[in-house]
Structure 1
Amino acid sequence: MKILITGGTGFIGSALLPLLNEHQLTLLTREPAQAEKRFGHQHQYLRSLATLSNLDGFDAVINLAGEPIAGARWTMRKKRAICDSRWDTTQKLAALCNSGVAPPKIWLNASAIGIYGPRDAEPVDETTPCPALDFAAQVCERWELLAKRVEPHCRLYLLRIGLVLHPEGGALNKMLPAFRLGLGGPIGNGRQMMSWIHRSDLLGLILHLINNAPPAGIYNATSPNPISNREFSTALGHALHRPAKLPAPSFVLKAALGEMSELLLTGQAVLPRAALASGFEFRFPQLEPALQDLLSAAATPRTD
C-alpha cells in the first residue's frame, strides 16, 4: 500500500514506521532531511501539504499529528499550538481527500480518551456520550468532527488513545526518574482512573485496523483493565523495587500546572469494546506484566 503518515517522527509514529516497511510510505514532517537520516532513504518526505492537490494515489492515511498536550502549563500560546497542530492538519488533509477522484480507502485518525471528560470509576466505552465540558474534550471533539469529513470516501477509524506506556517517551518516561529514586507516589487522592496501553499493543491495534479491515468507527486504544492512579503507582514502585508512597498533593500540581493539572487529577475508566469485538488480542491486558516488559526493555533496548 501507499500510505501517507503525519506525526511519523513522534513517540508513536517513530515506533510504527519500522512495522510498515513493506509499504510505500510518505511522511509529512517539518524537517525532511533529519527525518530521512533517521528513517532511511526508502521513504518519501513532504515538508508541507501545500505540495499536494489531492490524495489520489494513496491507499491509506494515518494521521497522528499533534502537539503534546501534557507536561506544561496550558498558556494561551500552548492551547493554540495544541489545537492548530491537530485541527489544521486534519482539516487540510480532509480537504485534499475530498478534492480528488480516487481518495484513500483507509483513514486512521488519532484522537484521545480526553473526549470522555473527567469521569469517576464507572467504565465508559465507544458508545458513551461525550459532552465537551473541558478543554481536552473540546480539542478531541473538533478533531474528530474534522476527520469525519472524509467518511463519504474512506473507511474511517477514530482511535481514542489512552495513556501510552513506554520508557522512551510519554508519561512513563516522565515518571521513571522519581520512582527510581523512591520519590514516586499517588497524584492527588489517587482514586482517579488511568486508562493505559502498552505501546506495542497500540501499534498492534493500528496494524490490525489497516490490515484486517474491521468495521469503521470509534476504537478505544486502551487496555481492557483500567486501574486507579494509586494502584498504578503501587505497581510501578513494585516493578522497580522501590517504595511509592510519597503523594503529589493536588494543590501543588494546580499551582505548578494550572488548568493542565486536571489531566493528572481526573481520569476515566475506558474500555476497548470495539477493538475486542473486532478480534484484536492484547499482548499486555494487565498492568504488571506490561510494566515488567517495558522496564526490561528499558534495561535492554529493543524494537517493538
Structure 2
Amino acid sequence: MSATVIEVAELRKRYGAFTAVDGVSFDVRAGEVFALLGTNGAGKTTTIEILEGYLRPSEGTVRVFGHDPADRAALRSRTGLVLQESGLFGDLTAAETVTAWRRFTSGARPVAEALEMVGLTGQAGTRVKRMSGGERRKLDIALAILGRPALLFLDEPTTGLDAEARRRVRDMVGELAAQGMTVLLTTHYLEEAQELAARAAIMDKGRIVTQGTMAEVLGRGSGRVAFELPPGASPEGLPVGERDTLTVTGRRCVIVTADPESVAHDVLGWARVRGVRLSGLDVRQATLEEVFLDIAGAGRQEVRT
C-alpha cells in the first residue's frame, strides 16, 4: 500500500448559513494521479483551496504529508501549484522567467533542466507574450515543479487550450506521474481525467457522490451492448436483466446496462444456442462524462422535486 499524501476526513466549510463543503472524506496516495471533479458550485474549488492552505475548514481534519495545510513553511518545498490563470511577465523570456523564479525556490532545478522537462528548450529565448497558450501552460508547470515537489496541485491545467496543446500538456502530466510525482487534478475535460487518473472523486452540492478507482467510478454509469440481428431473426429471449433496457430499431438492438461485459457474454451465448450470427457487435463501458452527466442530472431532478 502506497503512503498517504493527502488525508481528508469529514471536511466541512460554511459561509454563514451556506455549507459549501459538507462532510467530504478522501485520501490521495503517493505516486498517483487523483482527480477531484464536480459540477459548478459542487465545492471542489473550496476543498482544493483548503488543501492548499488558503482557506481554513469549519470542521473536519485535513492533512498534507501529515501537516496542517496552513503550515506553509513545512509544505512549501514539497508542493507545487498550477493555478487556472498565471501571472507571467510578458516581456521576460522563458529562461528569464525560470531564472527569476529560482531566486525564491530552495533546491531549484537548473534552468535548462526545468525547461527540458516540459519541452520548452527550443523556446528558452522566446518572450512569454509571444508564446502560444500551450507553451505558457508548460511554463506554468515548469515553475510549479522547479523545486522538485512531491505533490503537484493541477487546477484546470488545459482550460482555454486547443486540442493539440491539451494533448501535449496531458502527455507531460502523464510523464511526471510516471516519474513518481503525486498529482491532484481538477479539470472540466473529463476525458483528460479518465486518461490520467488512477482514482477519482465526483462532488455534487458539497458532498462526494462517488469515488474509487477509475473502473469503480465508471461502473456507476451505464454501458451498452449494441448489435444487429440477421434478417428474419427475432430478439425474443435476449438476456436482458431487470435493470437493463433493450431498444430494438429494425434489426439494431441496444442493451443499456451497468455490466456490459457480462451482458455481451450472455448475448453471444444466446446467439450461439439459436444459431444466430450477430453483426456490428459493440460493447462499451460508460465514459466518465456519462457518469458525470448522470450525477448532474440527478442533482437537478432533486432540486425540481
TM-score, normalization by structure 1? 0.29
Which structure: greater helix fraction?
1
